[in-house]
Amino acid sequence: MNTRLSPRIFPVLLIIVLLLAAAVGIAVVTATPEAPVSTAGLHPLPTPTPTATATPGWWRERDYEATPVLKKLPGVPKPEFKGGVGGEAPGKPIKIKPVSCPTNGVKITGVETGGGVTWNVKGVASIPNLWYWKVEASVDGKNWLHLYRQDAPASGILSRVNLSTLPGRPAFFRLTAVDRTGNYPEPCTIQVNP
């Protein structure tokens, strides 16, 4: 009987033994000594802090006192709606003064109360080869705020102005009509309540 192992089987058996040793947890000792390990760059993980739990019934331990109820608020006037701006009925004309309106097809003919906090700007915007027209408002006649723009000729109410959205009561309105070449005649500017 031959008890000698074949040279091919030895590496296979060695791998099997090493795998079994690793599975069982047996450490393989090497002939080289281990170098000391530096812990300089390692940082310990923080210990988790437990979350505080509310004590049941804590609200019963406090003495609460309710605020007495007022029968009515002292010195507050009762609101009353009268319609229009400043109590004026809708459709009431507001006094205007033309500052400059030299073009026939570009005119602001009037301003009237529109109900609530609105004014209606009335006029006509119709020039040859019209591209668009726009209505603007100004408090001082120098700094203009765009209110409305339309691409078709118009006559009648050109713009409804919500006064609560403006930074101050408008003192001027301006109507500008622009033709398809980008040119425009002198705008119509009016002053309100001169």
For the stretch 64-88, pLDDT in tens is 666 666 666 566 555 554 444 455 5
Torsion angles phi and psi, residue 78, rounded to 5: -80, 125
Domain annotation covers residue 19: no
Domain annotation covers residue 100: yes
Residue 117 pLDDT greater than 50, yes or no = yes
Instruction: Output the average pLDDT for the chain.
Output: 78
Task: Give the mean pLDDT of 47-61.
Answer: 70
Q: What is the pLDDT of residue 128?
A: 94
Q: Which of 52-61, 121-130, 160-169 has the highest mean pLDDT?
A: 121-130
Q: How many domains does the chain have?
A: 1
Task: Give the mean pLDDT of 156-174.
Answer: 83
Q: What is the pLDDT of residue 177?
A: 95
Closest by CA to 107, choosing from 161, 160, 174, is 174
Q: In what order do the strands lie in the sheet with 93-94?
A: 93-94, 106-115, 118-125, 154-162
Q: What is the pLDDT of residue 179?
A: 95
* pLDDT grade for 31, boundaries at 50, 70 and 90: very low
Torsion angles phi and psi, residue 176, rounded to 5: -125, 130
Q: Which residues, at least 6 apart from 173, have a Cβ–Cβ distance to it below 8 Å?
A: 108, 111, 121, 135, 136, 137, 138, 189, 190, 192
Domain annotation covers residue 170: yes
* C-alpha to C-alpha distance for 4 and 177, rounded to whole angstroms: 112
Domain annotation covers residue 39: no
Indicate which CATH number applies to the domain containing 112: 2.60.40.10
Contact 89, 112 (CB under 8 A): no
Domain annotation covers residue 45: no
Please list the alpha-helical segments (H only) found in the chain: 9-24
Domain annotation covers residue 137: yes
Predicted TM-score of the model (pTM)? 0.55
Q: Which domain holds residue 144?
A: 85-192
Domain annotation covers residue 183: yes
- Helix (H) or strand (E) run with residue 188 in it: strand 188-192
Domain annotation covers residue 111: yes
Contact 94, 191 (CB under 8 A): no
